[in-house]
Structure 1
Amino acid sequence: MDWSAWHEEYDVADSRLARRLRTVQAQVRAALSDAPAGGLRVISLCAGEGRDLLDVLPEHPRRDDVRARLVELDPRNSATALARAGQAGLQQVEVVTGDASLIDQYEGMAPADLVLICGVFGNITEADIEHTIAACSQLCRTGGIVIWTRHRGAPDRVPLICEWFEAQHFELRWLSAADAGFGVGVHRFVGAPQPMRRGTRLFTFVGSDVRRPTAATDPLP
């Protein structure tokens, strides 16, 4: 997978990826608007070009309240994200070129008010999805929001992902319609943040043959 070229579908107006992006951005916008007054911390795992946050933040009333860290392994994507942040004057947005699966990347920013896990759950095993969700209690403050995505191709694991979040003291706030062509979920953490366990690896990106033994097609990560 060329993770830089993958972003080209965002620019196709009615593509599933473009529609999913607009949906995620709407939920990011709502999460920032609904957050308590004061400083806000945002972290984004596998942030790509940062469009989930960086297309929302420049015009948002809370822009100056937000400190953010975007972690992305592909240096082309992280360079684009850094340029976008710079052009918008978002000096409080940090872009890290590194392995987003290492929990140490979020030290000093967690527990956060908003955690973005977009484009991840469709590229890792079910065991790693559950493991990552379990670690969200180390990333998210009480009352904080996690926004995540997952394709709805067979087998549809969105209901199971919701169950895993609920088991970790996250309550469902919003879920895209089953027939939207993609899955976007919003969960609010109602538990107590756990100390960060440094050295933890959250997930490993894998091929479709590993993460799904059936012959179903993945339309979208």
Structure 2
Amino acid sequence: MTRDWHEWHRHYDDPESGLSRRLVVVRGALQGLLDAASAPVRLVSICAGDGRDTIPVLDSSDATVSGVLVELDPELAERARSAAPAGIEVRTADAGTTASYADACPADVFLACGVFGNVTDADIARTVATLPLLLTSGGQVVWTRGNNVPLDPTSHQGDPAELVRGLFADAGFEEVAYVADDAAGFRVGVHRWPGPTGTPPPDVQTFDFV
């Protein structure tokens, strides 16, 4: 079976859904990062859907932002493309390979929302380990993880978001923020890369949706 991503996105139409509540937190995290920026921001968002995590925030922000949104589904990508502000490119491409966005890195802000609940633990580890190469020094990652266990592809015992947090810590990231909403079934994290600016790998497969 494969997930119907158009049907999945319709849950956003319900303001009480877990997705809608997660969206508020993700947008708030991104808004906070843009508000704190003292220089132009380079942004990359993978598995960006129709851009609703990012585009409304960019429209309302005074920050100067450029960057790339990557979405494989052509219809969702076109929705994002039609709404994207100047400086934001939307690519219809596989976000599981750095070939789709390496030329837009290193990024100051990197969004990986709706990713970690759809890939294996090994792919999460591979993705997190690659992120330092995709970020500027001080660059920050906004990520999400649901707690829909055992339906999600994980062998981790307990809250799967704790696996993600541990992987970021092991990779040398600093945790900036973490929100866990058990009722809505989501977690949102923000992690900062304190190391040197990375050299983006041109073609590394980090994950495949399962």
Q: Name the TM-score, length of structure 1 as normaliser.
A: 0.86
Q: Which amino acid aligns with 1:140?
A: L
Whether the aligned pair in 1 keeps the contact of 2:174 and 2:194 (CA below 8 Å) is yes
Q: Which residue of 1 aligns with 2:153?
A: none
- Map 1:20-169 onto structure 2 (within 5 A): 20-35=22-37, 37-62=38-63, 65-85=64-84, 90-154=85-149, 155-169=158-172
Distance 1:199 1:53, change over 3 A: same
Structure 1 residue 196: deviation in Å? 2.1
Whether the aligned pair in 2 keeps the contact of 1:4 and 1:74 (CA below 8 Å) is no
Distance in 2, Cα, partners of 1:145 & 1:132:
14
Q: Residue 11 in 1 paired to residue 10 in 2?
A: no
1:135-191 deviations in Å (ceiling 9; x for gaps): 001111111110000012334211121111011121001111353521100001111
Q: Which amino acid aligns with 2:68?
A: R
Distance in 2, Cα, partners of 1:3 & 1:145:
27
Q: Which residue of 2 aligns with 1:172?
A: 175
Whether the aligned pair in 1 keeps the contact of 2:102 and 2:201 (CA below 8 Å) is no
Q: CA RMSD in A?
A: 1.2
Q: Which amino acid aligns with 1:107?
A: A
Distance 1:205 1:75, change over 3 A: same
Q: State the percentage of identical aligned residues.
A: 41
Structure 1 residue 98: deviation in Å? 0.6
Which ranges of 4 or more aligned residues in structure 1 deviate by more than 6 Å?
none
Secondary structure, aligned partner of 2:83 = helix
Q: Which residue of 2 aligns with 1:2?
A: 4
Q: Which residue of 1 aligns with 2:154?
A: none
Distance in 1, Cα, partners of 2:202 & 2:61:
33
Structure 1 residue 99: deviation in Å? 0.6
Q: Which residue of 2 aligns with 1:211?
A: none
Distance in 2, Cα, partners of 1:174 & 1:38:
22
Q: Which residue of 1 aligns with 2:152?
A: none
Q: Which amino acid aligns with 2:146?
A: H
Distance in 2, Cα, partners of 1:53 & 1:47:
8
Distance in 1, Cα, partners of 2:135 & 2:198:
9
1:95-144 deviations in Å (ceiling 9; x for gaps): 00011111022223211110000000000000000000000011111111
Whether the aligned pair in 2 keeps the contact of 1:106 and 1:139 (CA below 8 Å) is no
Distance in 1, Cα, partners of 2:147 & 2:107:
28
Q: Which amino acid aligns with 1:7?
A: H
